[in-house]
Structure 1
Amino acid sequence: MAADLSMILPRVLIVSRRSVRKNKFVDFVGEYHLDLIVSYGAVPVIVPRVTGVHMLLSSFEPIHGVLLCEGEDIDPSLYEAEASGLSPEELEEIRRLHVSDTAIDREKDSIELSLAKLCLERNIPYLGICRGSQVLNVACGGTLYQDIGKELWKKFSEGLGTVVHMDYDNYDDHRHVVKVVENTPLHYWFKNSLEEAKMEIRVNSYHHQGVKRLAQRFVPMAFAPDGLIEGFYDPDAYNPEEGKFIMGLQFHPERMRHQDSEDFDYPGCPSAYQEFVKAAIAYQKKLNSSNCVQKGPRLDQEMEKKRQIIVRSFSIAKNMYTTGRGMAPTKESELEAGAEFLESNTALSLQQENRLKQMGATVRNASSYIGKLKKNEEREMIARKVMGKMSVEQLSDLMSFYHMMGQICSEVLDRKLHDIVTEVGF
């Protein structure tokens, strides 16, 4: 029975943190995280922080969820750290105050950023706790405060409004207030514990860095009194029942427990893990279902040529979107193939169609491009005449081809256009 369960439970990857014990490296993951993942019905798979693992992540497939939690500061070069304005003396003081956290681990950065981007590309459920939330924000183009005390608190005169985010002498019992944003997952999880007038809970945190500029795709869920974002999520990628979950929490709900007890401070504390695992289970079912779909026929030379023309058309369109440059006359005919495919493709979701409309608004000479799309009606009439002369076998092959291309296009467009929208600021 245990063997059967191990085959059907979703796999959640968790990257370990490297430490030194008796002059030897050891890898570890906090047991609270593992307990919660197991208790809600998933299998935690620990990815060791070992040199070269970032090149071997495909060996950990299938991946149904990623939970990133513990670790040192992220390499500042990955998020525009030069904009911090900190002097060399201030940076040295930060390193002295936070020795255990400022020892950059580039291998761990590489592993975790690769996993975060993989989740964003495939819509794999992702939960980031503390450092994991910072990794998620950086992976999406956001930035961090290199040190909250040196950067954020400068906004407050005489220390007014400052918050103790890290208490070295009181790790688990330390708490500070956060204000929860209405109508967010965090609000629903802690709804019964919130005073309506205040919308506040007291959380455990242990960090000296935090989100500075939140990536465009995310929405805040909680703020500390000093303005620091303590939780965020992607509303377009949040529906646990459908396998969608992209979220970062700066605080530690897994450690918010009564002194000398395993009881949580609030009933909502484990909800992030519960909903995350629910999403992983749904994602696994969706993945298994798609893997069971019968594969289309092998593309012959003519079909492969058509596929390459369509891919080329999408590539040109993407360059137009990202650079904002007008369309070269020589490229117009190459765009037609992609435009025709998009107009005839019925596999696009409402969300994808909305994103396509957003992207169209950013293209120069959009009117001429839209004019070309309108020609599709004329092409449809021609296509009907051509297909009327085709054999049943030819039509069957054509349907299989477009069904397969529709699935591929739907998945790839969703990923690429979402990334483009984020880059251009929509």
Structure 2
Amino acid sequence: MDSDLSVSIPRVLIVSRRCVRKSKFVDFVGEYHLDLIVGYGAVPVIVPRVSGVNKLLDSFEPIHGVLLCEGEDIDPSLYDAESTNLSPEELEQIRRLHASDTAIDREKDSIEFRLAKLCLERNIPYLGICRGSQVLNVACGGTLYLDIEKEISNTFAKSQRVKHIDYDNYDGHRHVIKVIESSPLHHWFKDSLEEGKMEISVNSYHHQGVKRLAQRFVPMAYAPDGLIEAFYDPDAYNPEEGKFIMGLQFHPERMRQPDTDQFDYPGCPKAYQEFVKAVIVYQKKLDSTTSVPKPMNLNQEMENKRKVILWSFSFARNMFTTGQELHPSKESELKAGAEFPQCNTALSQQENRLEQIGATVRNGGSYIERLQLNEESESLAKNVMGEMSIEQLSDLLPFYHVMGQICSEVLERKLNGINCQ
């Protein structure tokens, strides 16, 4: 029962962050994230930030969801950082003030960007918190401010500046954001919004943020200084259908009242709840495309035809592999009308193979005609599939791969007289 349960629970990948403790590197993920993922019915799978893991991500399949959260600044070269008016002296001030964040971790970048692009290709549910939202934006072609204070805050009067980070009060710090009407964020927090206002107070600690939002995304909230605090892809958001692509710059998981686990607003955990809902649906859809179908029950007439086809193919294959000629006394064993299994090799190779096995069966000419039709159909299929999206092809590939495996296994067992029931 336990092993069945472990297989049935959907998996959410979370990349760890590296820090130094007692002169050694330590990987960690905040427990608030883990608690919420587990609480809503998924199992968190921690991807360690270790050299080489970016080449081993296939080992973490199946992936039903990805949550990316805290970490260092993203390497500016990944989003072709636009020219900035910041002087070398200002850049050095930023590095000193935000030393723990400006130490770029390219290994973590490599792991997380591969996961983000995988989610975008397959429509795997993705929730980005803080840095995770920045990864999502950059992965889709957006850009970031190198430093909010120097590029945005300093353009406002002191009384109008927004403090996005407070090193002395991480969890207790709050600032106002304006929620966009009819967005998922509005739906989650609507019962907490004051009449006539669309504002909530959120926790955040970041010195960078979205500068140019990628084209596919729509904002869900802004800070008073104009910084985008939340966004999502409306074409890839429907938790009931297993769709969820979203980034939150603030930290709803940390918006809790002092010394308690009670949230500031009932809507705070909603992002995780809806994300896991999408993950569960996505897992079910994925499992349905890879499940093994039940064997077909054949009536007696169909069973006889199947035996004729398999026997004819087995007989012809043996002739081909041994190089033996067809003895006249055995010609009746190669039933007229028996159909050879079709394959995708070139027509000339098929004709040579028919000649090699002395295939003078009465349907040989019609078989070659079918091969010609197959080539035309194959060419047409390639043209059609060339117009399909990566997502559509990704859905088709595992289905036909599994069907091919099943067909090969059943055929081999049938040829050897083994019952497949």
1:124 to partner: Cα distance: 0.5
Q: What is the CA deviation profile of residues 369-406 of structure 1, one whole-angstrom value per residue up to 9, with x for unaligned ones?
A: xxxxxxxxxxxxxxxxxxxxx87x99999999989997
Within-5 A mapping of 1:24-423 = 24-156=24-156, 158-292=157-291, 300-301=344-345, 410-412=388-390
Give yes or no for contact 2:385–2:393 (8 Å, CA) kept in 1. Answer: no
TM-score (norm 2): 0.72
- Write the letter of the residue equivalent to 1:412: I
Question: Relative to 1, partners in 2 of residues 1:289 and 1:265: Cα closer, same or farther, differing over 3 Å?
Answer: same
User: Matches of 2:292 and 2:155 in 1, distance apart?
Assistant: 56
User: Matches of 2:92 and 2:71 in 1, distance apart?
Assistant: 20
- Write the letter of the residue equivalent to 1:284: Q
1:197 to partner: Cα distance: 1.3
**Identity value in percent:** 73
1:152 to partner: Cα distance: 1.3
**Aligned-partner SS, 2:177:** strand
- Write the letter of the residue equivalent to 1:69: C
Give yes or no for contact 1:203–1:256 (8 Å, CA) kept in 2. Answer: yes
Question: Relative to 1, partners in 2 of residues 1:282 and 1:404: Cα closer, same or farther, differing over 3 Å?
Answer: farther
**Aligned-partner SS, 1:259:** coil
User: Matches of 1:302 and 1:282 in 2, distance apart?
Assistant: 42
User: Matches of 1:145 and 1:86 in 2, distance apart?
Assistant: 11
Give yes or no for contact 1:242–1:279 (8 Å, CA) kept in 2. Answer: yes
Question: Relative to 1, partners in 2 of residues 1:33 and 1:399: Cα closer, same or farther, differing over 3 Å?
Answer: farther
The match for 2:12 is: 12
**Aligned-partner SS, 1:301:** coil
**Aligned-partner SS, 2:187:** helix
State the superposition RMSD in angstroms. 2.9
1:159 to partner: Cα distance: 2.8
- Write the letter of the residue equivalent to 1:184: S
The match for 2:406 is: none
- Write the letter of the residue equivalent to 2:175: H
1:160 to partner: Cα distance: 4.6
User: Matches of 1:259 and 1:246 in 2, distance apart?
Assistant: 31
User: Matches of 1:403 and 1:280 in 2, distance apart?
Assistant: 32
Larger Rg belongs to? 2
1:48 to partner: Cα distance: 0.2
1:64 to partner: Cα distance: 0.5
User: Matches of 1:178 and 1:218 in 2, distance apart?
Assistant: 18
User: Matches of 1:93 and 1:31 in 2, distance apart?
Assistant: 32
1:415 to partner: Cα distance: 8.7
1:301 to partner: Cα distance: 2.4
Structure 2 residue ranges without an equivalent (≥5): 294-340, 348-368, 395-421
Structure 1 residue ranges without an equivalent (≥5): 304-389, 417-426
1:70 to partner: Cα distance: 1.1
Give yes or no for contact 2:12–2:66 (8 Å, CA) kept in 1. Answer: yes
Q: What is the CA deviation profile of residues 265-290 of structure 1, one whole-angstrom value per residue up to 9, with x for unaligned ones?
A: 11110010011111111111111111
- Write the letter of the residue equivalent to 1:50: V
Give yes or no for contact 1:121–1:415 (8 Å, CA) kept in 2. Answer: no
The match for 2:22 is: 22
Q: What is the CA deviation profile of residues 171-205 of structure 1, one whole-angstrom value per residue up to 9, with x for unaligned ones?
A: 11111100000111000000100123110001000
Give yes or no for contact 2:95–2:102 (8 Å, CA) kept in 1. Answer: yes
**Aligned-partner SS, 2:93:** helix
1:221 to partner: Cα distance: 0.3
User: Matches of 1:409 and 1:11 in 2, distance apart?
Assistant: 32
Q: What is the CA deviation profile of residues 262-321 of structure 1, one whole-angstrom value per residue up to 9, with x for unaligned ones?
A: 001111100100111111111111111112377xx9851259xxxxxxxxxxxxxxxxxx
Question: Relative to 1, partners in 2 of residues 1:94 and 1:413: Cα closer, same or farther, differing over 3 Å?
Answer: same
